[in-house]
Structure 1
Amino acid sequence: MDISDRIRQKMTEHNLRAVDITRMTGATKGSVSQWLHGISSPGGKYIIPLTRALQCDANWLFGGVSTNSHSSSPAQQGNGFTPSFISKKLPILSYAQAETWREFEDKASIKDQLEWEYAPAAISHQAFWLMVSGDSMVSPVGPSICEAHIILVDPCMQAQNGDLVIAKVGSTKEVTFKKLIIDAGQTYLKPLNPNYRPIEVTDQCRIIGVVREARLKL
């Protein structure tokens, strides 16, 4: 179950429609549609209004983990309800920065040079946001991730078949965002855009991290 499943679950429980979520969060109709179809996830400014609308804990909504299973409901807490959740801010990196981020020791020295975005607490301390570049993950059908998105990358997760990943290709410092495919003993990185060719995974290819979610950068 991902965040889109959890949003739809709470909408069903509380008899809410997409138009209700649009009205209660202030998000556009298109943004809500993308949340519900798993194309993107809500940005930081929508966390509190969305959890209010769905009457749920933000850690559960974004990460599937509740910080307090015995917390009182929004109705019990009144109109001043603020969800009980712990979130963190993570840096938004470029592709070049992503290649060395995990090994970079003096992260504090460039803190003020980076833009930061809220992320669920249920993510490793090495995680970061990445600004999507190019159109190789823009699909004519199904989920599509374009340059308007940032993606949440966790370097501490083990990549599995079918995961979206960030990888370093070959002996260069080139970093790419693709879907990991393992089939009949062969491993390759597949773009969602059919105009691009898959990349064979060799010994010189290194998976940098697994993509946990995509979010429109407004």
Structure 2
Amino acid sequence: MDIGQIIRKARKAKGWTLEELAHRVETDSGNLSRLERGLQGASKELLGRVLKALDLSLASAGRIDEGSNITPALQPTRKHKEYPLISWVQAGDLTESPSNVGSEHKWFESTENAGDGGYWLKVQGDSMTCLGNPSFPAGSLILVRPEADVINGKYYVVEMLDSGEKTFKQYVEDAGFKYLRPLNPGYRTIEINGNCRVLGRVIDTKMTGL
């Protein structure tokens, strides 16, 4: 498998579009598209940013010359890290480092990087349950990365400023309007206009007690 295919596979495993990866590594999506298809090489600097974003690294024996199309040996460097399971009341208000969270909290692993302030929440209710994929049934865990970019189509934990209610929904932009959309069609979509605070992006999920 050449480097373009490895990058494409790793990007899709994270659920990222070319545009999102391009934004993260500060380049044009067209450059990444050509790189994934093997139509052009990449500078060492750009390739380094791409590999870092995708949690990949060059094997020690791999060597890339500037602008070359040499295929290096790659190896995954995904590491498991534990994050605390906190209550919805604490979400967004946890000021301590997770390493200082009390012993009353349970900790669960993830290969996703939620940052130093990342945490798990337990899904309540069935508003994010559907027949498709993804689906987040009640009782499942979601991993939240605070201070994440707000991206159309991704999933977020949000606090409604008028009521103080904290909710988990899909963020959607359509025709200049912004919405919080439940996956369950039995619940209403909420239009937002600065009346909420994004607490973090959901980047992983798992079921417990199976």
Q: Does TM, normalized by the shorter one, top 0.5?
A: yes
Distance of 1:141 and 1:86 partners within structure 2: 29
Which runs of structure 2 are paired with 1:50-129 in the superposition (5 Å)? 64-66=54-56, 69-70=59-60, 86-101=79-94, 104-105=95-96, 110-120=101-111, 122-129=113-120
2:125 corresponds to which of 110, 120, 134:
134
Runs of at least 4 residues off by over 4 Å? 106-109
Aligned counterpart, 1:144: 135
The gaps in structure 2 that reach 5 residues or longer are: 1-11, 17-52, 62-75
8 Å contact 2:97–2:116 — kept in the other structure? no
Distance of 1:167 and 1:84 partners within structure 2: 31
Displacement after TM superposition at 1:121 (Å)? 5.9
Deviations 1:182-212 (A, max 9, x none): 1111101000000000112132201111111
Structural RMSD (CA): 2.6
Q: Does residue 23 of structure 2 align to residue 2 of structure 1?
A: no
TM-score of the aligned structures, taking structure 2 as reference length: 0.62
Q: How many residues align?
A: 148
Displacement after TM superposition at 1:143 (Å)? 2.3
Would you tell me which structure has more helix in proportion to its own residues? Answer: 1
The gaps in structure 1 that reach 5 residues or longer are: 6-62, 72-82
8 Å contact 1:136–1:191 — kept in the other structure? yes
Q: Which of 1 and 2 has higher RCO (CA within 8 Å, sep 6+)? A: 1
Cα gap change, 1:127 to 1:67, in 2 (>3 Å): farther
TM-score of the aligned structures, taking structure 1 as reference length: 0.60
